[in-house]
A and B are shown apart, each in its own frame.
Chain A
Amino acid sequence: TQLLEQSPQFLSIQEGENLTVYCNSSSVFSSLQWYRQEPGEGPVLLVTVVTGGEVKKLKRLTFQFGDARKDSSLHITAAQPGDTGLYLCAGEEYNFNKFYFGSGTKLNVKP
């Protein structure tokens, strides 16, 4: 059973386009993290959101945590080929430092 559902699974877009990736669950999490993973490497943390409704920006990336702490979104503005990779969300089980990962969104940005 996948606690976190990510959509879309695959996304192929042209450089300069905007996109949004969604991470949804019926469970409540104490925090939610977004990771980016390149082929042959481990995931690298992009951001952690903790408060319901929180919005964090990292250059062209905007992350939002749902008010009920059950869902999150990642929006990329003016995507670039360097954004290509697998994006994973991970929800932390309440205060247990235990994370459940979504299945990932594979993004390909074409020049």
Chain B
Amino acid sequence: DAGITQSPRYKITETGRQVTLMCHQTWSHSYMFWYRQDLGHGLRLIYYSAAADITDKGEVPDGYVVSRSKTENFPLTLESATRSQTSVYFCASSDPWAGGTTDTQYFGPGTRLTVL
């Protein structure tokens, strides 16, 4: 099915380990985003990408690394996981050139990450 998928859906890791969260979309949307959702903070933008090989920082980028070698994939890596990175991570995509006055973001189902 077409859409936006995230893997894994659940992950438990230990402090100091490297973790990569995957995001894949089948719409060929130009923009992709990574958010984290914590109680009391809503969704906070970590990184976003306007196209393959173009990425930029959001509100809370520290401790995270992204890459986008292909339009459809946007992996998020926690280089050395910390307990404060325990959260639910959402990937989203949009295509501002699809028509209309602004952009609809389509969200994946989320990855629940626990860092022990």
Contact = CB atoms under 8 A, between A and B. Distances in A.
A45 B104 CA distance: 7
Interface residues of A, number: 25
Interface in B32-50: 33, 35, 40-45, 48, 50
Contact of A50 (B92, B101, B109): B101
A10 B48 CA distance: 30
Interface in A8-54: 30-31, 33, 40-45, 48, 50
Contacts of A43: 43, 90, 105, 107
Contacts of A102: 42
A100 B35 CA distance: 10
B59 A31 contact: no
Contacts of A104: 42
Contacts of A92: 102-103
Interface in B50-75: 50, 58-59
B96 A97 contact: yes
Given A97-B50, A99-B45, A42 B40 contact: no
B42 A103 contact: yes
Interface string A100-111: 111110000000
